[in-house]
Amino acid sequence: MAGGVMQPKYEECRFTKMGKEYREPAECKRTNGGREYLGLKNVTRTGKKCQPWLSQTPNEHSTIWYLPAFPDPGMDSHHNYCRNPDLNKLGPWCYNGEGTDPEWEYCDIQL
Protein backbone atom coordinates (compact mmCIF):
# COMPACT_ATOMS: atom_id res chain seq x y z
CA MET A 1 0.00 0.00 0.00
CA ALA A 2 1.21 3.45 -0.87
CA GLY A 3 -0.41 6.37 0.94
CA GLY A 4 -3.33 4.18 2.00
CA VAL A 5 -4.16 3.25 -1.59
CA MET A 6 -3.79 -0.37 -2.65
CA GLN A 7 -1.45 -0.58 -5.63
CA PRO A 8 -2.08 -3.22 -8.33
CA LYS A 9 0.45 -6.01 -8.67
CA TYR A 10 2.81 -5.51 -11.59
CA GLU A 11 1.50 -8.65 -13.27
CA GLU A 12 -2.05 -7.30 -13.56
CA CYS A 13 -3.45 -4.97 -16.19
CA ARG A 14 -6.38 -2.71 -15.51
CA PHE A 15 -8.92 -1.84 -18.15
CA THR A 16 -12.44 -0.48 -18.26
CA LYS A 17 -15.22 -2.08 -20.26
CA MET A 18 -18.72 -0.67 -20.30
CA GLY A 19 -17.96 1.51 -17.27
CA LYS A 20 -16.69 -1.36 -15.11
CA GLU A 21 -13.03 -1.78 -14.13
CA TYR A 22 -11.44 -5.18 -14.73
CA ARG A 23 -8.04 -6.66 -13.97
CA GLU A 24 -6.48 -9.37 -16.03
CA PRO A 25 -3.11 -11.09 -15.85
CA ALA A 26 -0.31 -9.41 -17.72
CA GLU A 27 -1.54 -8.99 -21.27
CA CYS A 28 -0.01 -5.55 -21.17
CA LYS A 29 3.34 -4.16 -20.19
CA ARG A 30 3.83 -1.64 -17.38
CA THR A 31 7.02 -0.09 -18.78
CA ASN A 32 8.21 0.70 -22.30
CA GLY A 33 10.89 -2.02 -22.14
CA GLY A 34 8.37 -4.58 -20.92
CA ARG A 35 10.86 -6.62 -18.93
CA GLU A 36 8.14 -7.36 -16.36
CA TYR A 37 5.69 -8.69 -18.99
CA LEU A 38 4.32 -12.11 -17.92
CA GLY A 39 1.52 -12.49 -20.46
CA LEU A 40 0.78 -15.40 -22.73
CA LYS A 41 1.24 -13.78 -26.14
CA ASN A 42 3.35 -16.08 -28.31
CA VAL A 43 3.15 -14.56 -31.79
CA THR A 44 5.13 -11.71 -33.30
CA ARG A 45 3.73 -8.45 -34.68
CA THR A 46 3.61 -10.07 -38.12
CA GLY A 47 1.86 -13.21 -36.84
CA LYS A 48 4.78 -15.63 -36.67
CA LYS A 49 4.64 -18.28 -33.93
CA CYS A 50 7.37 -17.81 -31.30
CA GLN A 51 10.13 -20.37 -30.92
CA PRO A 52 10.38 -21.89 -27.42
CA TRP A 53 13.15 -20.13 -25.48
CA LEU A 54 14.85 -23.41 -24.56
CA SER A 55 14.91 -24.60 -28.19
CA GLN A 56 17.78 -24.03 -30.60
CA THR A 57 15.68 -24.57 -33.73
CA PRO A 58 15.03 -23.03 -36.09
CA ASN A 59 17.18 -20.23 -34.60
CA GLU A 60 20.31 -20.94 -32.56
CA HIS A 61 20.83 -18.40 -29.80
CA SER A 62 22.58 -17.76 -26.49
CA THR A 63 19.54 -16.36 -24.67
CA ILE A 64 19.61 -19.42 -22.44
CA TRP A 65 22.27 -17.54 -20.44
CA TYR A 66 19.62 -14.91 -19.65
CA LEU A 67 17.17 -17.36 -18.03
CA PRO A 68 17.66 -15.86 -14.54
CA ALA A 69 16.52 -12.50 -15.98
CA PHE A 70 13.16 -13.85 -17.15
CA PRO A 71 10.29 -12.67 -14.92
CA ASP A 72 8.71 -16.15 -14.98
CA PRO A 73 8.89 -18.30 -11.85
CA GLY A 74 9.82 -21.32 -13.96
CA MET A 75 10.34 -22.30 -17.54
CA ASP A 76 9.83 -25.50 -19.46
CA SER A 77 10.48 -26.66 -22.99
CA HIS A 78 7.11 -25.31 -24.19
CA HIS A 79 7.62 -21.72 -22.96
CA ASN A 80 7.48 -19.59 -26.08
CA TYR A 81 5.93 -16.39 -24.74
CA CYS A 82 7.12 -12.94 -25.73
CA ARG A 83 9.68 -11.58 -23.27
CA ASN A 84 12.51 -9.03 -23.05
CA PRO A 85 15.17 -10.86 -21.03
CA ASP A 86 18.23 -9.01 -22.29
CA LEU A 87 16.93 -5.41 -22.16
CA ASN A 88 18.75 -4.76 -25.43
CA LYS A 89 15.49 -4.57 -27.32
CA LEU A 90 12.71 -1.98 -27.18
CA GLY A 91 10.08 -4.29 -25.72
CA PRO A 92 8.97 -7.92 -25.52
CA TRP A 93 10.10 -10.05 -28.46
CA CYS A 94 10.70 -13.65 -29.41
CA TYR A 95 12.65 -15.79 -31.82
CA ASN A 96 10.80 -16.64 -35.01
CA GLY A 97 9.57 -20.22 -34.60
CA GLU A 98 8.68 -20.49 -38.30
CA GLY A 99 12.09 -19.87 -39.83
CA THR A 100 15.31 -17.90 -39.69
CA ASP A 101 14.31 -14.81 -41.68
CA PRO A 102 13.98 -12.76 -39.59
CA GLU A 103 15.69 -14.43 -36.64
CA TRP A 104 13.53 -12.55 -34.12
CA GLU A 105 10.70 -10.02 -34.05
CA TYR A 106 8.95 -7.75 -31.59
CA CYS A 107 5.57 -8.71 -30.20
CA ASP A 108 2.65 -6.29 -30.18
CA ILE A 109 2.00 -5.75 -26.49
CA GLN A 110 0.17 -2.69 -25.24
CA LEU A 111 1.52 -0.38 -22.53
pLDDT at 26: 58
DSSP secondary structure, 34-56, as one string: -TT------B-TT-PBBPPTT--
Query: What is the reported pLDDT for 67?
Result: 81
Using alpha carbons only, how large is the chain's radius of gyration in Å? Answer: 15
Domains parsed from the chain with CATH numbers: 32-110 (2.40.20.10)
- Per-residue pLDDT of 15-52, as tens digits, reads 555 676 655 555 778 788 888 888 899 999 999 999 99
List Cβ neighbours of 19 (8 Å cut-off, separation of 6 or more). none
Give the pLDDT confidence of 54-111 residue by residue, as tens digits.
999 999 999 878 888 888 877 788 899 999 988 778 899 999 999 999 999 999 998 7
